Structure 1
């Protein structure tokens, strides 16, 4: 095997981990692919023989690339990232390929990714690399041009934001699915009271229809979300609903005549639905693997 071929094989062994890091950093599957590809290009241009820990080196490179991409977003003064749902990772409940399993590790739900996108780029990197992947602050510090102590403070600030804003899903997927099934039954019946009973009082619904709806709509509180009963009923009775895992959590893929019209993710906490995230942007649905 040629040296370049051997290096490519070694890189492919790290690809699932690198894409998982990039996805948590960027919330975009396409941009995560771009970040991983850039890491490969940098590796191919380097003297790989001088790299003692290839996995650590690649993780650091992907972290730097993602940090630059996040800072570029801020520099372009794009609309607030909260106005756009992150890309969902959709899989069947009974199967997931190794790359999806890596992406879904720790059940990084859409509700958590929305909170991550509200952090500064440096806070997000410190939190993702340390809290989600266990990198020491000594390794994170050079990426964000901080001391290890300052990098630790970045992660601490991010952790406080996450704990205060992102609900923690219940650990039992089967119990979560029962709650989602109860939601679907109440939706089909247009039953306001039944919907109200399974919603957390502080539930947040985010619906991203892309250009069709001028971005993401946000509805807060159980009464306001249950007030969408007619909309839920129309969806549940006109579309075919398919159970799926959305970022490792129970959700639904809704189709009409076999074509996906929306992906719904539910965060169930303490037996009630704490967050509902709906992606119905046709351009972004077309990009997802929903077979």
Structure 2
């Protein structure tokens, strides 16, 4: 069936919301773009005269495609080389979706997207639609073909799996830069105790190189172990620079709502180190250096602040 101008406008009006839902469900901007395109192809071929509410129809199609993707993605990640982290997204990118409430902002943080990987697929869908987009349980039940009580049960289970008593610190560009400056100064000082003062007791460090760039195969936990690892990681080294294509220039940014250190070589982003900051200190250091997961950041990267370091 031919798609008219009106139908294209309807879909394009829904695209940002569809991308934001898919990104939260899949943890990958590239996969989210693919899923939205698949949804558009189905919109093209549908009998649109029978579709009473385009928004609900498009959301249902998208979530069902995502459910299939989540099942296959889980199988792929069993053979993923090293540790898996979500694809980072810079502040201001529409892929992040709504950010009016603390729950919406939290649902797109690297830490939360990583935690959500543990959820069964339907729990994740219910949690995202309810927590980040304000869908009622009756609406979600209709989208997924479930009973309302079942949706409520899935939501409660997801909340229990994701519970965290620590309150994440809200940041803007200025406060994020301050956090990153302090973190970088501590990491470059060569003194473990400087890092220990910034880290939470149960801090975790995870790196994702995708088998392309070297990263440790297992997370590092515990304040002393993480501090020692970070001190060594930030020691100047020609061999480390060679792995990422040269000596990087370091910038501050806000990524997925948290302070982040962005590594840039010859104008191209080669790494993003996101810092999950709570009232108990830095509780997670997520280092993304897999080139395949930095494409969207590369496309959107514009250095709006002067670099933090050029000679590291």
Aligned position for 2:269 = 260
Matched residues in 1 for 2:284 and 2:186: separation? 16
Deviation of the 1:187 alpha carbon: 1.2
Does the C-alpha gap of structure 1 residues 23 and 147 become closer, same or farther in structure 2, counting only changes over 3 Å? same
Matched residues in 2 for 1:116 and 1:84: separation? 12
Higher helix share: 1
Aligned position for 2:30 = 30
Aligned position for 1:276 = 285
| Equivalent residues of 2:207, 2:289 under 8 A apart | yes
| Equivalent residues of 2:88, 2:294 under 8 A apart | no
Matched residues in 2 for 1:75 and 1:202: separation? 29
| Equivalent residues of 2:23, 2:95 under 8 A apart | no
Q: Which runs of 5+ in 1 are unaligned?
A: none
Question: Which structure 1 residue ranges, 4+ long, deviate > 6 Å from structure 2?
Answer: none
Does the C-alpha gap of structure 1 residues 259 and 88 become closer, same or farther in structure 2, counting only changes over 3 Å? same
Aligned position for 2:219 = 218
Matched residues in 1 for 2:188 and 2:86: separation? 27
Aligned positions of 1:75-224 closer than 5 A: 78-79=78-79, 83-91=83-91, 96=92, 99-100=94-95, 102=97, 106-107=104-105, 108-164=108-164, 168-173=167-172, 174-211=174-211, 212-213=213-214, 217-224=218-225
Matched residues in 2 for 1:155 and 1:12: separation? 30
Normalised by the length of structure 2, the TM-score is 0.81
Matched residues in 2 for 1:77 and 1:208: separation? 12
SS at match of 1:227: helix
SS at match of 1:36: helix
Aligned length: 284
Deviation of the 1:245 alpha carbon: 1.4
Matched residues in 1 for 2:280 and 2:77: separation? 39
Q: What is the aligned-residue RMSD (CA, Å)?
A: 2.8
SS at match of 1:201: strand
